[in-house]
Amino acid sequence: MEAFLHMGGYAAYVWPAYAVFFVVLLIDFFAPNLRRRRVLRELHARMQRQKAREARKAAQRSPSDDSGPTMTPLDS
Amino acid sequence: MMPGSLRAACVAVLRRDLLLAWRRRGDIALPVLYALIVTTLFPFALGPNDDLLARVAGGVVLVTVLLAMLLAFDALFRPDLEDGSLEQLMLAPQPLALLLGMKILAHWVSTALPLIVIAPILASMLHLPAHANAVLVLALLVATPLLSLLGSVLVALTAGTRRSGMLLALMLLPLCVPVVIFAAGAVSAAQEGLPWIAPIAWLGAALALMLILAPLACAAALRIAIDA
Amino acid sequence: MKWIPLWMHQLSSPPTFYRFASVLRPWCIALALILTAVGLYGGLVTAPADYQQGDAFRIIYIHVPSAEMSLFIYGVMAVAGFIAVVWRLKLAESVAMQSAPIGAAFTFITLVTGSIWGYPTWGTWWTWDARLTSELVLLFLYLGVIGLYHAFEDRRQGARAAAFLVLVGVINLPIVHYSVQWWHTLHQGTTVRLFGPSKMEADMLWPLLVMMLASKFYWAASLCGRVRTDLLSLESGKQWVRALAEREGR
């Protein structure tokens, strides 16, 4: 095992080369996964916001018909 | 010459661009000044050793001219894009490739030609021998139109983007590697007393090919980059 | 044979390709991992040391597959780019543009491992050797394509412009390669002793072939992952993406 790690005296060259290979490919592999998660999460959040807005609008319209048209919430 | 005919349109585009360049004469002087500054800096960096300067002179002047042209490339389509005349050109009934070819010609005359005029002076400041200097001018006469044509395709591709300076340099590098190799190869061959005609002939062949292909590619690239 | 164009047509629709890529990807990952394990065992353990270079030659098992992939991916990108420029197919644009970062990664690995390998064998980590220089120019080509793609605000337009640049590069690449070779013979100043293509023993050769195959499967997996993500953000208003976000976005 030690001889294997020693690489006949070339360990300082062989192992860094393999490290570069694996590190670069791991980054290449996981970058789109993270991006995919982010894209889906952002879209989900946007859909949630849209749904909440529609619900608020519907709730506003039906029960408060007699309170007059001047009562509009500030955060709309 | 019929107004609206192909020849009239070409002459009109050429005349307009040359006139515009002439009205802004200061802009023509800028690349020349840039080349002068860069060439002056080299002896300060390398030391006033005449032999060393003579050995690198051809390459230094070539790369300087290339960089000066790169600086001026942005002005090829940008003013026309901003005032909308490029879109008019694209809508014109005449073939776009030919009109763009005229624009490239006008751009070459107004930026590369002054550089070619000043290049032998810069080279002799760096002690390039006279016979190699003649080859340098010849190499530039073939290489600069080639660079203009190649560059025009890339400028057309970046026409629709906002920032393009560094990007253009990055995109142009792979294209100009062969041009620099052959032009500098001819100069250094002449310097060593070897036959130098072969690399110039290769450049000439590439130029003949690009004279046909580059305007067509430029037109196609422009249609991709600015279709709404 | 009518089902081939039909199948291609169906596959090129983004939701279908998304499902296809999601199914294909785990298989490719598994095959790539198994083949890499086998190839590296063969290359690092069972293959004998080279009689000239000792154990330093074992870098070949990552260097040569990466170099091959850097060119192979450019070829794939060029085919997809051609389809994108001519037929404006959304999937082809996506494949061409998502290939570029993978190709750039392999080109980078080729340059770095080549430099590391060069130090013990040539005595210098960088030399203006024809192959190294061409590889460097290839890296610049990849970076130019990526840069142009991101310079546009409209992503599909950027993809088409960058695909056009890929096609220009296809013509340019052999010219660069041969002119760099000519340049190298012209300037005989630096003569670095390169090891010729010495005959490889079968024990040394088979791990290399296995690693080349493994890198192909890795590429397929990575491309599936990237194109899948890209299609999601390109089609983010469509129903199938919204349904997916409903399920997986929390």
Output phi, psi for B222, to 5 deg: -65, -40
A with B: touching (≥3 Cβ pairs within 8 Å): no
The complex's ipTM? 0.88
Q: Which residues contact B171 (CB under 8 A, 6 or more apart)?
A: B154, B157, B158, C144, C147, C148, C165
Size of interface B-C (CB pairs under 8 A): 76
List pLDDT tens digits, range B105-130.
999 999 999 999 999 999 999 989 88
Please report the residues numbered 150 through 179 in chain B whose beta carbons come closer than 8 angstroms to any beta carbon of chain C: 153-154, 157-158, 160-164, 167, 170-171, 173-175, 177-178
CB contact under 8 A, B185 and C151: no
Would you state the pLDDT for residue C143? 95
Average pLDDT, chain B: 89
User: HSE (CB half, 13 Å, CA atoms) of B128?
Assistant: 28
Q: How confident is the model at residue B63 (pLDDT cuts 50, 70, 90)?
A: very high
For residue B70 the two structure tokens come to 């790169």
Tens digit of each residue's pLDDT (9 = 90 or more) over C212-223: 999 999 999 999
The domain in which residue B139 lies consists of 6-225
Provide the pLDDT for residue A63: 62
Q: Look at residue B212 and tell me if it is in a domain.
A: yes
Domain-embedded: residue B111: yes
The SS3 call for residue C50 is strand
Q: Find the DSSP H helices in chain C.
A: 3-11, 14-41, 60-87, 90-122, 130-151, 155-186, 202-234, 239-248
Q: What angle do CA C115, C116, C120 make, to 5 degrees?
A: 105
* Mean pLDDT lowest among B28-42, B51-65, B127-141, C235-249: C235-249
Give C3's pLDDT tier (boundaries 50, 70, 90).
low
Higher pLDDT, C210 or A8: C210
Give the whole-angstrom CA distance, residue A17 versus residue A25: 12
Is C52 in CB contact (< 8 Å) with chain A?
Answer: no
Tell me what pLDDT residue B37 has: 93
Does C139 lie at the interface with B, CB-CB under 8 angstroms? no
Mark yes or no for CB contact B221/C164 under 8 Å: yes
Per the CB < 8 Å rule, is A10 touching C109? no
Provide the whole-model pTM. Answer: 0.87
- Asked whether the beta carbons of residue A40 and residue C45 sit closer than 8 angstroms, the reply is no
pLDDT at C194 over 70: no
Q: Which residues are CB-neighbours of C57 under 8 A, at least 6 positions away?
A: C49, C50, C204
Provide the token pair at C88: 């404006």
Q: Is B1 inside a domain boundary?
A: no
Domain limits, chain C: 71-190
Q: Which two tokens stand for residue C77?
A: 């990108």
Of the two residues C101 and A60, the one the predictor is more confident about is C101
- CB-based contact A41 C249, cutoff 8 Å: yes
Tokens read off for C136: 């460097």
State how far the Cα of A51 lies from the Cα of A29, in Å rounded to an integer. Answer: 34
pLDDT at C250: 67
Contact B160 C157 (CB under 8 A): yes
Report domain extents, chain A.
Answer: 9-60
More confident residue, B48 or A63: B48
Mean pLDDT of C200-219: 87
Contacts of A17 in chain C (CB under 8 A): 59, 62-63, 112-113, 116-117
Q: Which residue type is seen at C129? A: D
Instruction: Identify the pLDDT of residue C181.
Output: 83
Q: What digits encode the pLDDT tens for the residues C107-147?
A: 999 999 988 888 888 788 888 878 888 899 999 999 999 99
- Mean pLDDT for the stretch of residues C3-9: 69
For B148-195, what is each residue's pLDDT tens digit?
A: 999 999 999 988 787 777 889 899 999 999 999 999 999 988 888 888
What pLDDT, on a 0 to 100 scale, did the predictor assign at position A43?
86
Instruction: Using only the alpha carbons of chain C, give its radius of gyration.
Output: 21
Q: Which of B160, B171, B221 sits opposite C144 (nearest CB)?
A: B171
Interface check B217 vs C, CB under 8 A? yes
Residue A66 has pLDDT above 70, yes or no: no
N- to C-terminal Cα distance for chain C? 44
pLDDT score recorded for residue C48: 78
**Residue C71 CB burial class (10 angstroms; 0-12, 13-18, ≥19):** middle
C174 and B201 Cβ atoms separated by less than 8 Å: no
Q: Are A8 and C49 contacting, i.e. CB atoms less than 8 angstroms apart?
A: yes
pLDDT at C33: 94
Residue C169, Cα to own-chain centre: how many angstroms? Answer: 15
Mean pLDDT of B81-92: 86
For the segment A3-46, what is each residue's pLDDT rounded down to a tens digit?
A: 777 777 777 888 888 999 999 999 998 888 888 888 888 888 88
Sign of the torsion angle spanned by Cα atoms C21, C22, C23, C24: positive
Q: Which residue has the tokens 């196609």?
A: B220
User: What's the whole-number average pLDDT of chain C?
Assistant: 85
Confidence of residue B144 (pLDDT cuts 50, 70, 90): very high
> Scanning the structure block, which residue is given the tokens 């630096």?
C190
Sequence-distant (≥ 6) Cβ neighbours of residue C194 within 8 angstroms: C122, C129
Exposure string over C14-46, b if 16+ CB within 10 A, otherwise e: beebbeebeebbeebbebbeebbebbbebbbee
- Per-residue pLDDT at B220 exceeds 70: yes
Nearest CA-CA partner of C126 in C145, C144, C137, C113: C113
CA-based nearest residue to C114, from C207, C192, C214:
C192
pLDDT (average), residues C78-84: 93
Q: CA dist B225 to B85, C136, C162, Å? A: 16, 27, 10
With CA atoms as reference, the chain A residue closest to C104 would be A28
Q: Provide the shortest C-alpha distance from residue C188 to chain A (in Å).
A: 29
Q: What is the end-to-end Cα distance of chain B in Å, rounded? A: 35
CB B135 within 8 A of CB B198: no
Burial of B32 (0-12, 13-18, 19+ CB in 10 A): middle
* pLDDT at residue C98 tops 70: yes
Compare all CA atoms of chain C with the CA of B206 and give the residue at the minimum distance. Answer: C175
Is B29 inside a domain boundary?
Answer: yes
Chain A nearest-CA residue for C246:
A44
Measured CA to CA, the distance from residue B169 to residue B130 in angstroms comes to: 32
> What is the CB-side half-sphere exposure of residue B63 using CA atoms within 13 A?
12
Of all residues in chain C, the percent with pLDDT exceeding 90 is 42
Give the residue-averaged pLDDT of C91-104: 93
Counted domains in chain B: 1
User: To the nearest whole angstrom, how far is the Cα of C246 from the nearest Cα of chain A?
Assistant: 6
* Rg of chain B (C-alpha set): 18
